[in-house]
Structure 1
């Protein structure tokens, strides 16, 4: 009936309509309290509703049942606010050891020796020393490997040269024998039957 009534209908001016609106608003407020009771900012959001509800309850025209409902909602909000405030801790500065500012000023040694490590952190200095030794050892090992490779290449080159010389000598001897045979054949020293004449 209210939804179909015109804007100037007398139902909108009645106390029953006003009480119905207040009842709907209060139940909606209770629903929001139940939904958002876990959020951290609950006290800041809902604190302002408590004095408003108390002001409405003080009105003489409000029915007792509605007064009790609004009082219970105000108590519910107040209880949730108290729970949140008990759990809250005051803000404090973080207890953290101050980090010293890095100093970029150069440090001078009176009796400076080139190659000596003046790092005050002995562990870091020892680590750097070991790293340098490892690099030097790696360079030395690489140098020795290169020398070994050069030596092996020279040995293989000499062996190849000797083998080539032997092959060339055999080839020369074979060619000389064949030329001698050809010469004897042409000169008639090799007769029929393949026997050499005396």
Structure 2
């Protein structure tokens, strides 16, 4: 049975977006790429996105297949990003979203339960923004949180956690400082191995 791993980078003051919804990429290095992206993709067998992140990532990564001069074409794990099956949580998308994606049904808990049963050989990774995160957190579907805390203070913006999610106790399974000043923290439900 696969786990649902929620991955996100957040500022030191716990914001995942700057004010106005501005995306703020984390400081990057080869070590970050290895510890964050490559480590996640070594485990991932399925990806879950919210609509906005799906459309952003689809535009970025699919360029590797058609434009050899694109930034994505120069990233060694682009083929895996493009090949992995994906589920998109959206109230507005219909039909085939492309990029090996499918639209989730209206019952996200049932969708995730099906994926946890059906995905083999690895786990389900959620790369989601605040809206999709709230849906997953609110339904208590996340088995593991994989956070990158960056050495930045945004002062305001969209917080990672909001009120209204179920209470749970987590167990630290990894704490890894990175050469850029960020820290990767992995937490699992306390009752899980």
Which category describes the TM-score, using the shorter chain as reference length?
under 0.3
Per residue, is there more helix in 1 or in 2? 1
Q: Name the TM-score, length of structure 2 as normaliser.
A: 0.19
> Which one has a bigger Cα radius of gyration?
1
